[in-house]
Amino acid sequence: PYTNKVITLWYRPPELLLGEERYGPTIDIWSCGCIFGELFTRRPLFQGQREEEQLEMISRLCGSPTPAVWPDVIHLPLFATLKQKKTYRRKLREEYQ
């Protein structure tokens, strides 16, 4: 297992925010996507101050992490304790078309 605090909060992927400790290069792909989004919009996509807030911001744009869209999310350590304000649907295309 690795630590899940390896990436600056604004670029940290949802699986790390949900406590994943076994990961690979895919976490870097998420971070690169955030940087590309920042280059496109000229501002960071997700500017959370705490991990919970960061996950909420990601969910508002990318949709909430639910078993329906991400079956393995139920195996992440913090998924059972996840308390989001609401369940969000993905609206990435609507925001940046």
pLDDT, residue 3, reads: 84
Report the alpha-carbon distance of residue 2 to residue 60 in Å, rounded: 28
Joined tokens for residue 10: 């604004």
Q: 4-49 pLDDT, tens per residue?
A: 888 999 999 999 999 999 999 999 999 999 999 999 999 999 999 9
Give the SS3 label for residue 40: helix
Helix then strand then coil, % of the chain, to nearest 5: 50, 0, 50
Please indicate whether residue 38 or residue 96 has the higher confidence score (pLDDT): 38
For the chain, what is the largest distance between any 2 Cα atoms, rounded to a whole number of angstroms? 39
Map out the domains of the chain with their CATH numbers. 9-96 (1.10.510.10)
Joined tokens for residue 24: 């690979």
Which pTM does this prediction carry?
0.91
pLDDT, residue 4, reads: 80
* Structure-token match 């390896």, residue found: 6
Q: 41-80 pLDDT, tens per residue?
A: 999 999 999 999 999 999 999 999 999 999 999 999 999 9
